[in-house]
Amino acid sequence: DFLIIGAGPAGYTAAIQAAHYGRSVVLFEEKAVGGTCLNVGCIPTKALIHASSFYAGMPAAERCGVHLEGKLDLDRMNAYKEETVITLRSGVESLLKGNKVEIVRGHAFIPSAHHVQCGGTDYEGETILIATGSEPVLPPIPSAQECGLLTSSDLLDLPAHPFTHLAVIGGGVIGCEFANLMLNLGRQVTIIEMKDRILPEMDREISQNLSMLLKRRGAEIRTGAGVTRLEKNRVWIGEKSVDCDAILMAVGRRSSCRDLFPEGLLETDRGSIRVNAEFATNAEGVYACGDCVHGIQLAHYAAACASSIVEKICSGASRIHLDTVPACVYLNQEIACVGRSEEQLKEQGVVYRTGRYSMLGN
Ligand code: FAD
Q: What are the beta bridge partners of residue 273?
A: 268
Residue 147, pLDDT score: 84
Q: Are 280 and 324 in contact (CB under 8 A)?
A: no
Q: What are phi and psi of 51, to 5 degrees?
A: -60, -45
Q: Which segments of the chain have a pLDDT < 70?
A: none
Distance 288 CA to ligand 1 centre (A): 14
pLDDT at 99 (0 to 100): 97
Please give the pLDDT value at position 253.
94
Point out the ligand 1 atom lying closest to the alpha carbon of residue 6: 7
Query: Do 342 and 203 meet the contact criterion of CB atoms below 8 Å apart?
Result: yes
Say which residues have a Cβ less than 8 Å from residue 76's Cβ, sequence separation at least 6. Answer: none
Question: Which ranges constitute the DSSP H helices of the chain?
Answer: 9-20, 35-40, 42-56, 58-63, 74-98, 152-155, 173-184, 204-216, 299-315, 342-347
| Whether the Cβ atoms of residue 107 and residue 30 lie closer than 8 Å to each other | yes
Q: CA 109 to CA 128: how far, in whole Å?
A: 11
One-character DSSP codes across 190-247: EEE-SSSSSSTTS-HHHHHHHHHHHHHTT-EEE-S----EEETTEEEETTEEEE-SEE
Per-residue pLDDT, 331: 93
Write the pLDDT tens digit of every residue in 175-221: 999 999 999 999 999 999 999 999 998 889 999 999 999 999 999 99
Ligand 1 centroid, distance to 255 Cα (angstroms): 10
- For ligand 1, which residues put their CB under 6 angstroms from it? 5-11, 28-31, 35-37, 41-42, 45, 107-108, 131-134, 152, 174, 256, 260, 290-291, 297-300, 302, 330
Predicted local distance difference test score (pLDDT) of residue 343: 86
Whole-structure pTM value: 0.95
Are residues 1 and 127 in contact, defined by beta-carbon separation less than 8 angstroms? Answer: yes
* Predicted pLDDT at 146: 79
What backbone phi and psi angles, to 5 degrees, belong to 106?
140, 175
